[in-house]
Amino acid sequence: MDISIFTRAMLAGTALLVAVAPTSAAEPGRLLASQCAQCHGTNGAGPGFEEIAGKDLFNDLLDMKYRPIEGIMDRQARGYTDEQLRLIADYLSTLPGNGDD
């Protein structure tokens, strides 16, 4: 058996599969952060309330979570563990946004 031909065929097959197969899902924080999009726009970039893409909002989210409830975000922030808020903030900070408030 000509192993190098087999190797090339295998790798060519793999390359084809990579082109066809879907993208992997595993981006930490992406799924959790998508739950912000109903009010802040897809990928945090509006339309909606304050733009949340491209900013590190971890301290703001913690502040909302632990201060007395006034607005709807104080309620929403309580819906996540501190670790989840960290993942959300880290992921959102990597997104481009539009530079809007």
Partner 1 sequence: MKNTLNRRQFLKLASAMAALAAVPRAVGAATTAPRVVVVGGGFGGATLAKYVRMWGGNVQVTLVDANPNHVSCILSNLVVTGALPMSRITLAFDSLKANHGVTVMQGRAVAIDAAGNTLTVSTTSGNKVLPYDHLVLSPGIDFVPAAGNWNPNLTPHAWQAGAQTTLLKNQLAAMRSNDTFVMTVPKAPYRCPPGPYERACVVADYLKRKGRTGAKVIVLDANASITAEPEAFGHAFNVTHAGVIQYVPNATVLSVDSSTRSIVTSAKTVNNAKVLNYIPNQRAGAITAGLPLNSTGFVPVNPLTYGIAGYPNIHVIGDSCAVPSSDGKPVPKSGHMANSEAKICADAIIRSFTGEAPDKDIATSSACFSPITNKTSSWLSTNFIYGDIFDASGNVKGKGMHRVDAGEAEADMIDGDSYQDMFIWADSMFADSYS
Task: List contacts with partner 1 (CB under 8 A).
Answer: 2-5, 7, 10-11, 13-14, 17, 19-26, 30-32, 34-35, 37-42, 46-49, 69, 72, 75-76, 78-81, 84, 87
User: Which positions ≥6 away from 98 have C-beta within 8 Å?
Assistant: 45, 46, 51, 53
**Comparison of 59 and 79: residue with beta carbon closer to partner 1:** 79
**Comparison of 75 and 100: residue with beta carbon closer to partner 1:** 75
**Comparison of 13 and 96: residue with beta carbon closer to partner 1:** 13
For residue 59, the minimal CB distance to partner 1 (Å) is 19
Of the CA atoms within 13 Å of residue 22, those in its CB half-sphere come to 3
**Residue in 36, 55, 42, 35 with CA at minimum distance from that of residue 100:** 55
**Residue in 64, 46, 66, 62 with CA at minimum distance from that of residue 54:** 46
For residue 74, the minimal CB distance to partner 1 (Å) is 8
